[in-house]
Amino acid sequence: MNNPHGEFECSVSGQLLLFSARGPWNDETMRNGVVKMSSDISKFEKGAKWAQVSCLYGESLMPPSTFDIFVKQTRVRKTRGLSFLAVVILDTDIMLTTKHQISQCYDAAEVPYGFYETVEDALEAMTNNGYDFDSDEAERFFARFNFTR
């Protein structure tokens, strides 16, 4: 997917959903992301706990309608086993604004989350929190889908 309103890739490794994306976001891109992400989430065993590592590039902001979809879908992910979100924000001039909006979403959805400086830090935190995944596979995913401009 490559359009002016966000691009993303996602994949699963063990107990992690890997997500790399570049904003800004609109409703259509968010809906497309939800469909792709739901397909990946279905790979987790029913009732299994899993975490998500998201690396966000650029101005990953959302208008109010897209934000509402994001909150709703985060709540759905929680019912499907999402237990923690690790977020890395790169290549942006509006880090604090992005962190604020994402925090509002995850607080509203009542999902625990944390912000990390690098993908490596986020993956290390997942290991330290007991999530099982292939760290080499995860690092390759984020290297392949690096949306730095």
Long-range contacts of 132-141 (CB under 8 A, 24+ apart): 132/14, 132/15, 133/13, 133/14, 133/15, 133/16, 134/13, 134/14, 137/13, 138/13, 138/16, 138/18, 138/53, 141/9, 141/11, 141/13, 141/18, 141/20
Query: Is 102 within the bounds of a domain?
Result: yes
Query: Is 76 within the bounds of a domain?
Result: yes
Do residues 67 and 26 touch, judged by C-beta distance below 8 A? no
Query: Is 65 within the bounds of a domain?
Result: yes
Nearest 5°: phi and psi at 25? -115, 150
pTM above 0.85, yes or no: yes
3-state DSSP helix/strand/coil percent for the chain, to nearest 5? 45, 25, 30
Q: State how far the Cα of 29 lies from the Cα of 116, in Å rounded to an integer.
A: 25
Query: Is 77 within the bounds of a domain?
Result: yes
CATH code of residue 124: 3.30.750.24
Query: Is 23 within the bounds of a domain?
Result: yes
- In the chain, the amino acid numbered 86 is A
Burial class (CB in 10 A: 0-12, 13-18, 19+), 79: exposed
Given this model, what pLDDT does residue 5 score? 67
Residues of the chain with pLDDT below 50 are: 1-4
Given this model, what pLDDT does residue 43 score? 94
Query: Is 22 within the bounds of a domain?
Result: yes
Question: In which domain, by residue range, is 15 found?
Answer: 7-144
Query: Is 2 within the bounds of a domain?
Result: no
**H or E element at residue 31:** helix 27-41
Q: What is the pLDDT of residues 107-126, one digit of tens each?
A: 999 999 999 999 999 999 99
Give SS3 for 149.
coil
Query: Is 149 within the bounds of a domain?
Result: no
Tally of structural domains, the chain: 1
